[in-house]
Structures are given as structure tokens and as C-alpha cells.
Chains A and B, each alone.
Chain A
Amino acid sequence: DAGVIQSPRHEVTEMGQEVTLRCKPISGHNSLFWYRQTMMRGLELLIYFNNNVPIDDSGMPEDRFSAKMPNASFSTLKIQPSEPRDSAVYFCASSLAGGLLNEQFFGPGTRLTVL
């Protein structure tokens, strides 16, 4: 299995631009998670889906952030408009069963820099 696939691996954009991060979970996994990691705040859960349905998005920092999961094999995290403080590494993870404490498999991350 290829594992969780994220694209792009690196993204540099200017403030005010729209950014879309993509994730392909491991085939057969029913849960998908989006995280953000910064030096200051550590690893934070933004949102997670069970069977393509968003379960908890209370970690999404503000309305500029949105996430979708149109099918079991694809999810996007969109930031519009982007701001310099959004600069971080964004991880996508998936797990076989629902529940945050079940083993999660993380992707390689997308390093986002907003100038």
C-alpha cells in the first residue's frame, strides 16, 4: 500500500491567495483526519471525517478554513484567503475504524508558507 498521499508536498503562496491541500487516505480506511503543526502550537487536530461525513470541525481555526471529503478516497483542505499565520505543516491521516485513539496513519505532510 502506498500509504496516505498528500499533495503538494510544498506550497508557497502570497497572502490573500486561495490554497488547496489534497489527501488520499489508505484504501479501506473509514476515518480521515486533518492536522496542523507549528512550533508554537504543536500538532492540532483541525477536523475529522467518518465515512466521508465531518464529525468534528471545532479545531478549524476560522471560517477561512474549509474541508471536504466528496468520496472515500479523496479529501481537500482549503484556505481562502490565506494569511502568513497559516504557515505550517499540514498533515492528513487515516484510520481503519472511527475513533480518535485508533491507530492513525499519517501522510508526509504539506509544508505551507504564506508570504
Chain B
Amino acid sequence: LAKTTQPISMDSYEGQEVNITCSHNNIATNDYITWYQQFPSQGPRFIIQGYKTKVTNEVASLFIPADRKSSTLSLPRVSLSDTAVYYCLVGRSSASKIIFGSGTRLSIRP
């Protein structure tokens, strides 16, 4: 499993774009990058997954540079309801372990 490093916390305001970067220097060739979101008192929820370049869905975008040693989760025009912990995971589908880590605690203010 590739070790991931992400900021412990971030603050932003409603209507802003938020970018959360995850470092994964020892990512392997077959590894994918996956992000989950966890609201207080709820289980994590899958947000997005990618392998390279850019992936976009109705919730977020995921930017992955060519060397894949980092990735950035982009949340457009955040609202108060985007306050949550965001986890970056790196690994392959056949991996026998999964590590959520400490995540990034995102706080959105009015």
C-alpha cells in the first residue's frame, strides 16, 4: 500500500472552490487513487476514483499529474454541507489491505 499524506484540516467559505492535495510518493504502477467523504455520525461515502490526468463527476474533480505522486480533490463552490472529513486512499483492487488514515477535516464557514 502506498503511504498517503494529506493536510489534517482546512477551512474555507461557502461558494469557494476547495482543493485538497494528497501526496503518495511511492504509488505503484497499478494503483488507483480513491477519495471518500465522511460526515459526522455517518459512514464514509465514495466520492471519486482515478488513475491519471483528470476525472470529474457530479460531486468533484480529481486531478492527477503525470508522475502520479500526488493528487488533488477539487470541490467546486462548496456549501456548509460539505463540512466533513475527506480521505485519500491509494492502492490496487487486488490489495489485501486498505488504510483510511487520518483524513482532512474540512470546515466550511458561512
Contact = CB atoms under 8 A, between A and B. Distances in A.
Nearest to A33: B98
Instruction: Say whether chain A's binding surface is mostly helix, strand, loop, or mixed.
Output: loop
A101 B98 contact: yes
Interface stretch (A60-68, A74-82, A104-112): A104-112
Interface residues of A, number: 21
A101 B34 contact: yes
Across the A-B interface, the 9 shortest Cβ-Cβ residue pairs: A106-B43, A99-B93, A43-B100, A100-B98, A103-B46, A91-B43, A101-B93, A56-B96, A101-B91
B3 interface: no
A93 B100 CA distance: 14
Contacts, number: 52
B45 interface: yes
A45 B44 CA distance: 13
Interface residues of B, number: 23
B12 interface: no
B95 A42 contact: no
A30 to B, nearest CB: 13
9 contacts: A42-B101, A43-B44, A45-B97, A101-B92, A101-B95, A101-B98, A103-B49, A108-B43, A109-B42
A91 B44 CA distance: 9
Contacts of B103: 42
A51 interface: no
A102 interface: yes
Nearest to A6: B43
